[in-house]
Amino acid sequence: MLAVFIVILFVACVMSVTNARNAILSIFAIGFLQDPFRKMVPGEPIYFIVMVGLVFGLVFLVTLQRQGLRQIGEPFVGWSGSLRQPMALFLLVLFLQFIHSIVRYGNPVVSLIGLLSYTAPLFAIVVGYFLVTRAQDIRRAMKMFISIGLLLSITVVLSFLGFELKIFKEVGEGLLIYDQGTILRSFSGFMRTGEIAAWHIAMACCFIMVLYLSSKRKPPVLIVAALIIFMMGVIALTGRRKMLMLITVFFVIYGLGFSYYLKKLSINYVVSGILAASIVWLLVTLLGPVGDGDSVGNYIARSTSVYGSATSRAVELGFKPISWAYNRVGLLGGGLGIASQGSHLFNVASIAGGSGEGGLGKIMVELGLPGLLAALWLVVAFARYINLSVKLSAQRFVPEHVMPLMLGIACILLVNLMTFSVATQVYGDMFILIIIGLLAGFLFALPKLVLRAMHDELPTVFQQSPLPIKV
């Protein structure tokens, strides 16, 4: 099986180099195949989780060669100068904490793991920005992801139904959840853990809604609703209920975003959607069988409890880890890598303890208060830039399908940021970090996509009087 994977990896690398349009397909292919192949290789070697990084690294180098070193910073400073200072400060803190980590622990691998957890999305922003030239490129990538997400959902269901294939089992001993007065298994399909599977399926749900609202020819709403409800039910089977909260918050914010940017009373649609979803969920909860062990009712009952515990979880894992981090390492932080995925392999995870479970705590324990403040400044700068970009896409001279697409990506990034603030584990996965960075890169490319869309819609007028765009 290892030989087969190496061949697939080689083909993906060749495809990504020879044709830029195949780059995202190659990244998705290896990102989703590395887990099932890892399960089938004796010993389940851990190096499989970074295979997608090899393909992505090659794509980045090709992008660098094509664009040139002087143009590689265009996504961040090409359309706005507001990101320069916070980005420079954040990168400076990263560098200092990288040196701190090497000196303090004497293990450059730990430092590199920590550095990649922060910089991988930044590299992916560059790649995403230069890979797309039209909005259709983004839609094509979303369609690919949804297709794989549906396949993943089916494998999770098959695993729940009792198909005991090695490819369906979690890596390692698997996760057992003690809830509802019984023991529940976490079903992961062909991904290595239920947590990873739930995130990808949740993203596919969000992409379905984005594509539906940004399509000129919309498919039947019942089909869209059925797909989303099915996939949310599959997420319940993974036992990772926080991803259901992610989807719910996304729908609410997406609807409110339409109301804000288009100045329409689309809040009625939001309320109607929430009401319909609540009725469906209530019916499923009441009618679902409740019993011992892996019954559908137990998984649904566990999943519905996430809404009641959202506030307490935000406090316990969102804000309290900041004080926990201070108590462990002080104001200046403990260095890169101590709270990142894989730190337990190098005997440094105990330094961070539970303070690294929430995103704010992870940043505080690794980068200290200066890093936390720099990160918050950078997030605010990103938010202002994205806000201006989405406002640009809502202008009358921009084709109507652009704004729902870009607003959807912005909302997806926002809900992931909110989820990261209370749960960092899933965001230690390199493939997930790359996907988030690619989405941000798509959003950063919005000004040039607007110019391209205007050129396609009104080529004669545009060529005679091009409109400068600055955000």
Q: Where are the beta strands (DSSP E) in 39-132?
A: none
Q: For the chain, first and last CA: distance in Å?
A: 49
C-alpha neighbours within 13 Å on the C-beta side of residue 2 = 8
Q: With contact defined as beta carbons under 8 Å apart, do 361 and 355 qualify?
A: yes
Total Cβ atoms within 10 A of residue 91: 15
Q: Where are the beta strands (DSSP E) in 93-134?
A: none
Predicted local confidence at residue 300, as pLDDT: 65
Cα gap 218→208, rounded to integer Å? 11
Domain assignment present for residue 60? The answer is no
In terms of Cβ atoms closer than 10 Å to its own Cβ (0-12, 13-18, 19+), residue 172 is: exposed
Taken in order 103, 107, 109, 111, the sign of the CA dihedral is negative
Predicted local confidence at residue 11, as pLDDT: 92
**Alpha helices by DSSP H, 318-397:** 320-329, 349-352, 359-393
Distances (CA, A) of 329 to 193, 266, 311: 31, 47, 27
Predicted local confidence at residue 43, as pLDDT: 87
Q: Quick check: helix, strand or coil at residue 351?
A: helix
Domain assignment present for residue 120? The answer is yes
CA–centroid distance for 395 within its chain: 28
Residue 151 identity: L
In terms of Cβ atoms closer than 10 Å to its own Cβ (0-12, 13-18, 19+), residue 467 is: exposed
- Report the number of distinct structural domains present in the chain: 1
Domain assignment present for residue 185? The answer is yes
Predicted local confidence at residue 465, as pLDDT: 40
Nearest to 318 by CA among 195, 410, 424: 424
Domain assignment present for residue 32? The answer is no
Cα gap 383→126, rounded to integer Å? 18
Domain assignment present for residue 240? The answer is yes
Nearest to 156 by CA among 182, 183, 205, 194: 194
Q: With contact defined as beta carbons under 8 Å apart, do 205 and 136 qualify?
A: no
- Joined together, the tokens standing for residue 38 give 């890892």
Domain that holds residue 373: 73-464
Total Cβ atoms within 10 A of residue 294: 16
Predicted local confidence at residue 469, as pLDDT: 47
Name 219's Cβ contacts closer than 8 Å, sequence gap at least 6.
Answer: 212
Distances (CA, A) of 283 to 114, 181, 189, 309: 45, 22, 26, 21
Give residue 289's region: left, alpha or beta (phi > 0; psi -120 to 50): beta
Domain assignment present for residue 164? The answer is yes
Domain assignment present for residue 263? The answer is yes
Kindly give the parts of the chain with pLDDT less than 70: 174-183, 263-317, 343-345, 349, 453-471
DSSP assignment of 303-328 equals HHTTTTSHHHHIIIIIIHHHHHHHHH
Domain assignment present for residue 27? The answer is no
Q: Quick check: helix, strand or coil at residue 350?
A: helix
Vertex 411: Cα angle to 404 and 440 (nearest 5): 90
Vertex 302: Cα angle to 300 and 308 (nearest 5): 110
Cα gap 52→430, rounded to integer Å? 8
